[in-house]
Amino acid sequence: MAYQKSASIGIAFLIGAATVAEFVAKDVSSPQTVHLNAKKRSETLMFWVNIGMIESALFVGIAMAIDKDHAKAFLGGAGLQMAITYAEYRYAKKLGMEQANLEGTEQY
């Protein structure tokens, strides 16, 4: 029993650390790419954001089916993060389309 409790604490600790790392990596890289390259690639970039949302929903749905006791928590966390992420991308696209002086990061 003591081993199980300490293992759960260790897993929770790693999930907390990985969550922060993942959010920072996502927020620094991908919305910035949309912002900088929106004029040339916004449709393609947003297409892949939508694919990611579908993929996320699929995996969370599977997790919910496997672990019914935590289904509401999976749905709540995933739903909130999906809403935040989609809003970030939409805002990045809007800024990129409005800012005429952005050079982007790619040469065509």
Alpha-carbon gap, residue 33 to 77, rounded angstroms = 25
pLDDT, one tens digit per residue, over 22-77 is 888 887 778 888 888 888 888 888 898 899 999 999 999 999 999 999 999 999 99
Alpha-carbon gap, residue 6 to 22, rounded angstroms = 24
- pLDDT bucket at 2, cuts 50 / 70 / 90: low
User: Smallest Cα–Cα separation from 53: which of 73, 81, 27, 29?
Assistant: 81
Q: Is pLDDT at 16 greater than 70 in this prediction?
A: yes
| One-letter amino acid for residue 53 of the chain | M
What confidence score (pLDDT) does residue 12 get? 78
With residue 2 as reference, give the H or E element that holds it. Answer: helix 2-66
State the angle between helix axes of 2-66 and 71-98 in degrees (0 to 180), rounded to the nearest 10. 70
Rounded to two decimals, the pTM is: 0.78
